[in-house]
Amino acid sequence: MMKAERKQAIIDHISREGKVLLGDLSAALNVSEDTIRRDIKELSDEGLLKAVRGGAILHSPIPLHYREREHQDIRHKEIIADKALKFIKDGQVIIFDAGTSALAVAARLPKELRITVVTNSFPVANILEDHPNAEVIFIGGRLYKFAFSTMGYEAIQSLKNIRADICFLGICSIDLNIGVTGLNYEDSQMKKTMVETSKHIIALSTFEKLDTAENYYICATNEINTIITDVDPAEGKLQHYTDAGIAVI
């Protein structure tokens, strides 16, 4: 089999299964694991998949820029937001990250709810401007134009002074073994700090972001307490998260 045919076979397999293992492909294509490893590296360099130890998995399907993400999967994010509201109670301090799923939660906060929102997201702060009972603590720092959010040393230091009851963490990629990962290094550092300073971590993830990975590590998957997604929790692809002790809603 020619290299181009092998690479196409790898792409076809990962599109169907969401991941590939070196040993399985080596046997299926009748070539060495070293050959498959080189093919996967080339495909990873081309941005077509994410090479990991022992094989490869899918990249996150989300676009990088906020303007593209805000119009993507709107109904799915509304489903996630409605599920998230039941975790919110009067008197809580809640971190909302810069993800569009977190924004969807902020947009649906009941007007009578009395909470303190901590956020580095300009859209979240803007949407809560008229909320009568939500106090907003905006985390300043350097503007990250792709997400309309702040990041950097000053922002991280400000977050370290917070002890939040809940963190609503918009997910770019999550995989049970690799962990929660992101597309941007500094944004991932912000999310890491949010996780470290919160009591209960709620990952907001549309179904397509599950079992994918990116380059920048945020936290281990078992640091997540709850995953809220847009599908029925009984969906088979969610079972291994439930088996790991993570509540799936």
Q: Enter the pTM of the model.
A: 0.77
Residue with tokens 């990975």, as numbered in its chain: 213
Domain assignment of residue 42, given as a range: 3-57
Query: Do residue 30 and residue 73 come from a single domain?
Result: no
16 and 80 within one domain: no
Give 182-201 pLDDT, tens digit per residue.
988 999 999 999 999 999 99
Averaged pLDDT score across all residues of the chain = 89
Together in a domain, 203 and 236: yes
pLDDT band (50, 70, 90) for residue 73: low
- Distance of alpha carbon 165 from alpha carbon 68, whole angstroms: 30
Residues 163 and 128 in one domain: yes
Same domain, 75 and 156: yes
Same domain, 133 and 49: no
Percent of all residues in the chain with a pLDDT value above 90, rounded to a whole number: 58
As a three-state string, the secondary structure of 163-201 is CEEEEEEECCEEECCCEEEECCHHHHHHHHHHHHCEEEE
Main-chain phi, psi angles of 200, to 5 degrees: -130, 120
Give the tens place of pLDDT for each residue, 115-172: 999 999 999 999 999 999 999 999 999 999 888 999 999 999 999 999 999 999 999 8
133 and 240 in a single domain? The answer is: yes
Q: pLDDT tier at 92 (50, 70, 90 boundaries)?
A: very high
